[in-house]
Amino acid sequence: MKAILHIEKLKAYYDVKAFGVDRYVRAVNNVNFDVSEGEIFGIAGESGCGKSTLIKVLYALNKPPLTVMGGRVLYNTEGGDKNPLEIGSKELQKLRWNFVSYIPQGSMSVLNPTIRIKKQFLDVIKAHHKGTDAKEAIKLSEEHVSSLGLPREVMDSYPHQLSGGMKQRVTIALATILKPRIIFADEPTTALDVVVQRGVIQLLKHIQKELHNTVIIVTHDMGVHAEMADRIGIMYAGKIIEIAPTREIFKNALHPYTQYLIKSLPKVGDKTPKASAPGAPPSLDSLPNGCSFNPRCPYAKEDCYGSEPELRKIKAQHLVACCVAEEAKNGKN
């Protein structure tokens, strides 16, 4: 399959000036991966590991202090490869919503509280397809909303009249109205409870099945990834440290951090004691030398403090950035 999104040596730092000295918060630090067409790619990691920043850069939403320090992003559009970080704002606007679309974090609060949902749909369609007839646009959005299983009444409601889960589903409907090829979803189910979360995941999967598009979903909840993703990238301290198909991650995690993540997941029906990873994640402005996980890693050896490990291929499709991956794997058994 063809890669629809290509990320190469991407570096994005927050440039923080403190006492006249530049300090860099390395939120995205040399990230490389490809996402193929029709794939659901999950990005997992804990808060402050840079996963939301990565999504922002991929959607070219970077504003100072966030600066792209190097690398490139390529969208494989019908009109050839395009780098959203380089093209002009007019061209970017053409791509947005039509080709790529973004469901932001806390998307319950992104709807304009003073206008009806119907008008918000109309605004989106008019902004991206100039000269569309208003009646036609409303008919189109009504069809879209009902095809997603949302009640028709939402179109005439104001956002405050809807529950949190409903607002989230309306935002997803809004983001997909123009049938984008790539959808970036940043924590779409966080702050929703389990039943509503299931409804939202159901909706996203339904859309992906209909449109055969690519979904890049960012969340810290491994359960959501297990439910949705085809492939998962684990992020730690601004880097992707492991990429593998979902089953492989859950069965044969190689990086010690991934192993902690998977092992500490509580399950109903399992009361065996579970341990957290020791220590706390590093601050992104003062990363430890060598591998960023070395202060917390039980397998760390001398090499780990020297150079930063690169992503290397273990199996087809399974990449890991760890010098001691083999030992860590054996240590588990």
Partner 1 sequence: MLLKRLKMEKTERIKGFAQHADGNLLETKDLTKVFTIGKRLTGSKLVAVNSVNLRMKKEKPEIFTLAGESGSGKTTLARIILGLTEFTSGEMLYKGKDITKLKSKKEKMWLKREIQPIFQNPYEAFNPLKKVENYLFETATRSGTNHDKKAAVNDALNMVGLNQNDVLGKYPHELSGGQLQRTAIARALITTPDLLIADEPVSMIDASLRMSVLNFFKDLKEMKNVSIIYITHDLATAYYISDRIGIMYRGCLVELGPVEKVLKKPLHPYTKLLLESIPKTDPEHRWGNEIKMSNLEVKEYGSMGCKFAERCPLASEECRKEAPKDVFVDGRLVKCILF
Quick check: 163 binds partner 1 (CB under 8 A)? yes
Quick check: 202 binds partner 1 (CB under 8 A)? yes
Quick check: 16 binds partner 1 (CB under 8 A)? no
Q: Which of 17, 90, 130, 276 binds partner 1 (CB under 8 A)?
A: 276
Quick check: 224 binds partner 1 (CB under 8 A)? yes
In single-letter form, the type of residue at position 148 comes to L
Quick check: 317 binds partner 1 (CB under 8 A)? no
Which residue, 102 or 257, has its beta carbon nearer to partner 1? 257
Which residue, 130 or 316, has its beta carbon nearer to partner 1? 316
Site map for partner 1, 22-61, x if CB under 8 A? ------------------------xx--------------
Quick check: 165 binds partner 1 (CB under 8 A)? yes
**Residues 190 and 219: beta-carbon distance below 8 Å:** yes
Q: Which of 34, 221, 285, 308 binds partner 1 (CB under 8 A)?
A: 221
**What does the buried/exposed string (b/e) look like for 184-213 if buried means 16 or more CB atoms within 10 Å of the residue's CB?**
bbbbbbeebeeebbebbbebbeebbeeeeb
Q: Which of 118, 178, 250, 308 binds partner 1 (CB under 8 A)?
A: 250
Quick check: 197 binds partner 1 (CB under 8 A)? yes
Q: Provide the minimum distance between the beta carbon of 117 and partner 1 in the complex, in angstroms, as a whole number.
A: 14
In degrees, to the nearest 5, what angle opens at C-alpha 204 toward C-alphas 142 and 123? 40
Which residue, 115 or 280, has its beta carbon nearer to partner 1? 280
Site map for partner 1, 63-102, x if CB under 8 A? ----------------------------------------
Q: Which of 86, 143, 265, 307 binds partner 1 (CB under 8 A)?
A: 265
In 3D, which of 104, 106, 100 has the Cα closest to residue 87? Answer: 100
Task: Write phi, then psi, for 182 (nearest 5 degrees).
Answer: -125, 135
Residues in the chain: 333
Q: Provide the minimum distance between the beta carbon of 144 and partner 1 in the complex, in angstroms, as a whole number.
A: 17
Footprint on this chain of partner 1 (rule: CB under 8 A):
46-47, 149, 151, 163-166, 192-199, 201-202, 220-224, 226-227, 246-247, 250, 257, 260-261, 264-271, 273-277, 280-281
